[in-house]
Amino acid sequence: AQSVSQHNHHVILSEAASLELGCNYSYGGTVNLFWYVQYPGQHLQLLLKYFSGDPLVKGIKGFEAEFIKSKFSFNLRKPSVQWSDTAEYFCAVAGSQGNLIFGKGTKLSVKP
């Protein structure tokens, strides 16, 4: 069965620091990968997605992620975080039935 691992449960950064959140998936075939964000009190929103092509994917709000097939990884990055990036971040892979398989999430706290 497919699975997704997010390495960090809680990350605390100061504003302007660089961010990298780890995500590894288990499936070895063709994968469709997503990063979602959940701001406090809000619904889950799509940050970016990867289906094929350029392994470096750019999303909203300055986020990007790199698909590295040999490492089964899809890490999320942002060069300089802001206080407004405080949220919970979820990595997900599309399952074989159109469902999504989520990681356990990483909470990001950005100190002003």
Partner 1 sequence: DVKVTQSSRYLVKRTGEKVFLECVQDMDHENMFWYRQDPGLGLRLIYFSYDVKMKEKGDIPEGYSVSREKKERFSLILESASTNQTSMYLCASSPTGAYNQPQHFGDGTRLSIL
Q: Least distance to partner 1 from the beta carbon of 111, Å?
A: 21
Q: Interior CA angle at 51 toward 48 and 54, to 5°?
A: 85
Helices (H) and strands (E) in the chain, counts: 0, 12
Interface positions with partner 1 (CB under 8 A): 6, 9, 32, 34, 36, 42-46, 49, 51, 90, 94, 97-105
**For partner 1, the closer CB: 28 or 112:** 28
State the Cα–Cα distance between residues 69 and 53, nearest whole angstrom: 12
Q: Least distance to partner 1 from the beta carbon of 104, Å?
A: 4
**For partner 1, the closer CB: 98 or 112:** 98
